Amino acid sequence: MNKPKIALTIAGTDPTGGAGVMADLKSFHACGVYGMAAVTSIVAQNTKGVQHIHNLETSWLSEQLESVYDDELPQALKTGMIASKEMMELIQSYLKKYPEIPYVIDPVMLAKSGDALMDDDAKSDLQNILLPYAKVATPNLPEAEEITGLKITDEASIYKAGNIFINDIGSKGVVIKGGHSENLDTAKDYLFTKEDVFTFESPRYETQHTHGTGCTFSAVITAELAKGKSIYDAVNKAKQFIALSIKYTPEIGQGRGPVNHFAYMKEVGLDDE
């Protein structure tokens, strides 16, 4: 039996399983990649919103990462909710030490409920400390506006934002996700690299159950990069994966429920149950 590829997620938790490291690990599994996780924050949240956030001490995150890297290196890693500058600098030290390991950053700032997961200082630190090391960054429209300082209202402003990520900030790739746009027919995402721009479209499904879409999308990209796939192929797979995850939501919870992390497996015949 071949040794599995490994993906590492560094993020917060969601006890109801829809977002954070729980969603990442499910997504890694659905992509056939072994998942590892280091926790940054304990978040009390559900489909109705975020009730409490307890950010861990940076030393606790350091101990988790030391355990992982001392034993088995991942083939790719991603970050989600990162609460403090100190945590970002710690993660940056690993990105510098292992530049060959592709890094995906989901710049989590708000929960689907609208609850803030990061303060203004942390948003600035994210841009300066972590985004320059990203193989792929995956901001939604509000996050891209926050990072670039632009008001994104049309395709031209999306292109301006993409240019800022690649040429000013230094990310190798960025997917600006159009799920928050006012186009009611399709969900259109834009992938910018130094060399080219690609677009990906999928049907827009009428559902409120989109909790954890950002975590899931970025986790699939991470898993595919761990397998050695190109940025384009990784994003293309993630787009198909998230579209099916939204189409076949499990209808869990009283609020914005989670997506279905195993819909893709069933669709392509990887799950016979």
Active-site residue, selected from the candidate residues 9, 138, 148, 213: 213
pLDDT of residue 272: 41
The three-point CA angle 8-15-5 to 5° equals 20
73 CB contacts (<8 Å, ≥6 apart)? 6, 98, 101
Active-site residue, selected from the candidate residues 35, 179, 214, 257: 214
Active-site residue, selected from the candidate residues 212, 216, 237, 249: 212
pLDDT of residue 186: 77
Is 215 considered catalytic here? yes
Pairing relationship of beta strands 103-105 and 136-137 according to DSSP bridges: parallel
Active-site residue, selected from the candidate residues 13, 40, 210, 249: 210
Is 214 considered catalytic here? yes
Residue 224's H or E segment, with its range, is: helix 213-226
pLDDT of residue 179: 59
* pTM for the model: 0.94
For residue range 260-270, list pLDDT tens digits in order. 999 998 876 66
Per-residue pLDDT of the chain (273 residues; tens, 9 = 90+): 788 999 999 999 999 999 999 999 999 999 999 999 999 999 999 999 899 999 999 999 999 999 999 999 999 999 999 989 999 999 999 999 999 999 999 998 765 555 666 667 777 899 999 999 999 999 999 999 989 999 999 999 999 999 999 999 999 999 999 755 555 567 899 999 999 999 999 888 888 888 999 999 999 999 999 999 999 999 999 999 999 999 999 999 999 999 999 999 887 666 543
Tokens for 103?
A: 């890094």
Residue 202's H or E segment, with its range, is: strand 197-203
Is 213 considered catalytic here? yes
Residue 59's H or E segment, with its range, is: helix 58-71
> Burial, 272: exposed, middle or buried (Cβ in 10 Å; 0-12, 13-18, 19+)?
exposed
pLDDT of residue 270: 61
- E strands, 70-172, in order: 76-79, 103-105, 136-137
Q: Provide the CATH number for the domain formed by 6-255 in this structure.
A: 3.40.1190.20
Q: For residue 211, what is the DSSP state?
A: B
Is 193 considered catalytic here? no
Active-site residue, selected from the candidate residues 215, 216, 222, 249: 215
- Return d(Cα 39, Cα 19) in angstroms, integer: 13
> Burial, 32: exposed, middle or buried (Cβ in 10 Å; 0-12, 13-18, 19+)?
middle
Going from N- to C-terminal start, the domains of the chain cover 6-255
Overall residue count recorded for the chain in this entry: 273
pLDDT of residue 170: 97
- Return d(Cα 223, Cα 35) in angstroms, integer: 9
Angle between helices 231-247 and 213-226 (to 10 degrees): 140
- E strands, 72-203, in order: 76-79, 103-105, 136-137, 173-177, 186-193, 197-203
